[in-house]
Structure 1
Amino acid sequence: MANSVYEGLEQLGSTSTQPKTPEEAVLEMVQNPRAGTDYLVRFTCPEFTSLCPVTGQPDFAHLVLDYVPDQKLVESKSLKLFLQSFRNHQAFHEDCTVGIAERLVEEMKPKWLRFGGYWYPRGGIPIDVFFQTGKAPENIWIPDQGVPTYRGRG
């Protein structure tokens, strides 16, 4: 396993505790085995939670991460633990969404990244927050994120 792309990963295949804060969370990377080929990777987190910084009440979102990797892929278990670290984190929707995207860009260094935060209503108003690093590569198929605008029960 000396030349394995999994070498150096500490969270995959072992029991890992949920980080207490996003700053404490470790995002692990693996080498992209198809670094010479452009392709899209999508992660969907339909049950993201954080806390309102004013009331301390829980906020809920459906997150969608699309990225075209360069040299690194984010390891999925570490991404899951990173997102779970927001469970007790107090921040506005915009801060959570953009902060997650910026950290992913900083650590992954993707060719392109798009991040959608589709927040469930609080006080009757849903908030959707979107982040993108630039123009999408022309040769990549990028499907719609598939999250409809909020319509309530009507």
Structure 2
Amino acid sequence: MAGTDTRGLTQLGTPTGQPASPEEAVLERVPAPHGEKAYVVRFTAPEFTSLCPMTGQPDFAHLVIDYVPGDWLVESKSLKLFLTSFRNHGSFHEDCTLTVASRLVDLLTPRWLRIGGYWYPRGGIPIDVFWQTGAAPEGVWIPDQGVPPYRGRG
């Protein structure tokens, strides 16, 4: 089997600075080597952080991103840099979660994508945000996201 085509990637294998904001972050993609098959790719970010836009205090989430690729896969280093670009970004939980999902959908045009944003309490209330592009493709095993309802999340 031939290796993945990495031509055109600007971040993988090179020193790359942390983007100052999600808008400045560059998400990159590579061709999906098994585009004819329907399978799930999962990324879990258990230490996602952003800032409350009102207080400037840090907010923490456990993000789970599942997608069924079409022609493209997200390059993981670029995804990590994109996710960490939220650390100094002030936005509500719903906006952060849906911004991540929207950028991935725009980049990849996946067959299907869902995101679970499991946010730790702010003001004593956890705010969890869920979104998906539509029904999952038939015949694809979609595992549970594995994050329990809030009880200390640990």
TM range (shorter): over 0.9
Q: How far apart, CA to CA, are the structure 2 residues paired with 1:102 and 1:24?
A: 15
**Any runs of at least 4 consecutive aligned residues in structure 1 with deviations exceeding 3 A, and if so which?**
none
1:65 deviates by 0.3
Secondary structure of the 1:130 match is: strand
Q: How far apart, CA to CA, are the structure 1 residues paired with 2:152 and 2:130?
A: 21
Query: What is the aligned partner in structure 1 of residue 144 from structure 2?
Result: 144
AA at the equivalent of 2:51: L
Farther off after superposition, 5-14 or 59-68? 5-14
Q: How far apart, CA to CA, are the structure 1 residues paired with 2:126 and 2:135?
A: 27
Pairing of 1:29-40 with structure 2 (within 5 A):
29-40=29-40
Are the aligned partners of 2:4 and 2:30 in contact in 1 as well (CA < 8 Å)? no
Q: 1:4 to 1:148 in 2, by over 3 A?
A: closer
In structure 1, the gaps of 5 or more residues are none
Secondary structure of the 1:85 match is: helix
Deviations 1:101-121 (A, max 9, x none): 111101110000000100001
Q: How far apart, CA to CA, are the structure 2 residues paired with 1:136 and 1:4?
A: 26
Query: What is the aligned partner in structure 2 of residue 103 from structure 1?
Result: 103
Q: How far apart, CA to CA, are the structure 2 residues paired with 1:80 and 1:21?
A: 13
1:20 deviates by 0.2
Deviations 1:2-53 (A, max 9, x none): x951111111111111100101000000001101111000000000000000
Pairing of 1:1-150 with structure 2 (within 5 A):
5-150=5-150
Are the aligned partners of 2:4 and 2:31 in contact in 1 as well (CA < 8 Å)? no
Aligned-pair Cα RMSD in Å: 1.2
1:132 deviates by 0.2
Number of equivalences: 151
In structure 2, the gaps of 5 or more residues are none
